[in-house]
Amino acid sequence: MKRILIATSNPGKLRDFAGAAAADGVEVEGVPNFAALPTVVEDGLTFEDNARKKAEEYSRAVPGEAVLADDSGLEVDALNGAPGVHSARYAADEPHRAGSNTDDDANNQRVLRELRDVPADQRTGRFVCVLAVARNGKTLATFRGVAEGRILDHLQGAGGFGYDPMFYFPEIQKTFAELTPEEKANYSHRGAAFRAFLTWIDKSPGILRD
């Protein structure tokens, strides 16, 4: 079985990737000793900037291995695209200056507050994910996935992580927090980007090790 190393300490992201990889015979693992590695500052202006930076930096810790990193977030139309690249630290007073992520529930509550007076038909938004795969500090390719949906005025569902409980996907009439990892992989932004990555892997022999 081929394996891919994921540069994240987020257990929710690892579950998402594992759910997307399960049907393709690819094993997902975290980068070894990830917690001990220096934290990469996510100061890029776009999801791709941050994904590339993380993949390149963390791939240097495992020479010769392909390392996948993602940057993802929620774009809300009524908030002019916010939280965007600041999704993981949106509850901070100045998200663009925050040195660490803020609590998921605090991030959710800020979005709910800011959308309090926005009518249901204007609560459109999307999850965006950009994946970058790198080896020895060099990006080999990037992949983008998008999931369009609506932002609820409450949290719904006990699974998932991040903004999943407020992100309603009309096609299945559920929030992402109401899905199993395997179900979520079929519809999510991260699943779409990862499937594009797997297609590329199939056409690029030798990228992944067994």
The residue ranges of every structural domain in the chain are: 2-202
**pLDDT of 209:** 67
Q: How far apart are CA 84 and CA 110, in angstroms?
A: 14
Sheet holding 174-175, edge to edge: 26-30, 2-6, 66-76, 124-135, 138-151, 167-169, 174-175
Express each pLDDT in 41-72 by its tens digit: 899 999 999 999 999 999 999 999 999 999 99
Task: Tell which CATH classification among 1.10.10.1100, 3.90.950.10, 3.40.50.2300, 3.40.50.300 matches the domain 2-202.
Answer: 3.90.950.10
Catalytic entry in 71, 121, 202, 210: 71
Comparing 17-26, 106-115, 133-142, 168-177, the range with the smallest average pLDDT is 17-26
Q: Is the pLDDT of residue 207 over 80?
A: no
Q: How far apart are CA 172 and CA 75, in angstroms?
A: 20
210 part of the active site: no
Q: Is the pLDDT of residue 210 over 70?
A: no
Q: How far apart are CA 57 and CA 34, in angstroms?
A: 12
Q: How far apart are CA 5 and CA 15, in angstroms?
A: 13
